[in-house]
Structure 1
Amino acid sequence: MFDYRLLSISTSLILLAKASFQYRTDADWWLYVPIYLLSAVLNLIPCNRKPWWRLFTSVIIVVGCAQIAFLVWSFRRVAHSLLQEEFKEARNILPLAVGVFVLTTGRLINHQHTSFLSYFRILIPRKRRNRLMESKL
């Protein structure tokens, strides 16, 4: 049987180790460590009913996806122009993607879904969703 909580804890510990290592060795640690660190902490403390947890996970998911998209786009552009240089920052795409994926999965796994669109509705913070529903009435 697949145990999501065990996977979440092990992924969080790996992300914490990666954040610690990168903080000590990388001059540009501030680009990646906040995403690693917040993803790991929010995965270790799943409080799906708390508004602050939902807000922070939404922010990390959006910022993490934007950062991954930017890194992939920029490395593809640079790779076409300079084929002989090694891109050390490309190693950071996978841990960012794993952190965002585990957070997204953690948000989606603990809710009941009635339709395909409810997956997207869960990603919107609850207060914002309530305001949107009230404005439609």
Structure 2
Amino acid sequence: MCGMAHTHDHPGEQAAADPIRLLGIRDIPLSVDEIFTAVGDSSAGGTALFVGTVRDHDGGTDVTRLGYSAHPSAEAVLRHVAEKTAADFPVRALAAVHRVGELTVGDLAVVVAVSCPHRAEAFAACHRFVDDLKREVPIWKHQTFADGSEEWVGV
């Protein structure tokens, strides 16, 4: 099936023509509603939503500030990761937005949603997409801790 869309033997369960509905890297607050709405599809029986938030600690140390920086290629890599997920799972719709800039505790850092015909597929596709995004997309986290120390993550 080289170069072909992922299909199943069940009627009506072939992958959507262009399931990637929304991708972005933004320096403004993210909206769960926007991402969830973007993946609405009448043929999807399951939607998995992942929301990554800034927590108040890392490794037992209090975090006081956190910033995300992205390489200029980050959006292209994000699209590649999304296309790979859509090729490997029966994705009806996928949307993902990652925040950059200075964030505070409780802010949304990333919001991802994946809709598939069934819940197990939606969970699996969302899980794999988030793992691949974290591993492959060149977005780096800079944390400042209460004791004044700093750490870059992902570089």
TM-score above 0.5, yes or no: no
Q: TM-score, normalised by structure 1?
A: 0.30
Which has the larger helix fraction? 1
Q: TM-score, normalised by structure 2?
A: 0.27
